[in-house]
Amino acid sequence: MTLEVHDLAIGGLVRGVSFAIARGERVGLIGESGSGKSLTALSIMGLLPEELAASGSVKLDGRELLGAPEKELSRLRGNDLSMVFQEPMTALNPAMRVGAQVAEPMRIHRDGGKHRAAAEALLESVGLPGTFRAYPHQLSGGQRQRVVLAIALANDPKLLICDEPTTALDVTVQAQILELILDGVRERESALLFITHDLAVVASVCERVLVMLDGEIVEAGTTRDVLTAPQHEYTMKLLAASDLEASR
């Protein structure tokens, strides 16, 4: 699996963004709110708002995604491409039992039955045994995020995108979710694009880092190099303001 983003531009908000992610790689995309991180992710998924147009190129295994028909993108989403959003309640159907929501992408993209058994196994793998018939409102925020992760991993995606998936969670639950994400991508050899403003999270999860400022990537490199010897002034400011710097 290779994701190749080249000269991506989105409605004047993102400009000249280029990077690649290979199978099994874990890449962090960091920057403050409004820097263009989420728009970049949504363009990869084909989920940009209608009023925003993207140009450039986004290829998955050589297949161009920008401008691809919605029918083709729908086949890819939830199968080759999956995304975990910051707020799980916006991603879950409040009127649908969580087990059915975990099973749904398997029913859509896989032939054969036994989707319930597979969904129950997935829920157990993210630490939620016995919750198949629960509704989202009956679960805590951390538990709901585990459900969203189970849905995202259901079809062994080639690329998992996580957009600030632990921001709203307390530190203990955050660590548990990060461990589940890492375990999930390692077991499947999935690539990971992890979007966050938290450098400590990047240090624990990612091998490479892309730093965004005002819609552009201003620094890129290995996590070790970027976080120990930042070259751009903005990266230095992020590091100076982070918990990571305080612990060094």
Does a structural domain hold residue 142? no
Q: Residue 247's pLDDT band (boundaries 50, 70, 90)?
A: very low
Which stretch of 14-23, 56-65, 127-136, 164-173 has the lowest confidence by average pLDDT?
164-173
Does a structural domain hold residue 136? no
Average pLDDT of span 226-238:
94
- How many folded domains does the chain comprise? 1
Does a structural domain hold residue 8? yes
Do strands 81-84 and 159-163 pair parallel, antiparallel, or not at all (unpaired)? parallel
Average pLDDT of span 100-114:
83
Does a structural domain hold residue 20? yes
Average pLDDT of span 140-151:
94
User: Does residue 80 or residue 87 have the better pLDDT?
Assistant: 80
Helix (H, G, I), strand (E, B) or coil at 36: coil
Confirm if 166 and 148 have CB atoms less than 8 A apart. Answer: no
167-195 pLDDT, tens digit each: 878 889 999 999 999 999 999 999 999 99
Does a structural domain hold residue 6? yes
User: Would the pLDDT of 112 be above 90?
Assistant: no
User: Would the pLDDT of 72 be above 70?
Assistant: yes
User: Would the pLDDT of 248 be above 70?
Assistant: no
Rg of the chain taking only CA atoms, in angstroms: 18
| Segment of 5-19, 84-98, 231-245 carrying the highest mean pLDDT | 5-19
Please state, in angstroms and rounded to a whole number, the distance separating the CA atoms of residues 190 and 45.
16
Percent of the chain predicted with pLDDT > 70: 96
User: Does residue 99 or residue 200 have the better pLDDT?
Assistant: 99
Does a structural domain hold residue 87? yes
- In whole angstroms, how far apart are CA 219 and each of 112, 127, 206, 210? 46, 37, 15, 6
Average pLDDT of span 205-226:
97
Q: Residue 244's pLDDT band (boundaries 50, 70, 90)?
A: low
Does a structural domain hold residue 133? no
Q: 0.75 cut: is pTM over it?
A: yes
pLDDT of residue 246: 42
Q: Residue 152's pLDDT band (boundaries 50, 70, 90)?
A: very high
Which CATH number covers residue 61? 3.40.50.300
154-168 pLDDT, tens digit each: 999 999 999 999 887
Instruction: Determine the structural domain holding residue 180 and report its residue range.
Output: 2-91+159-247
Does a structural domain hold residue 148? no
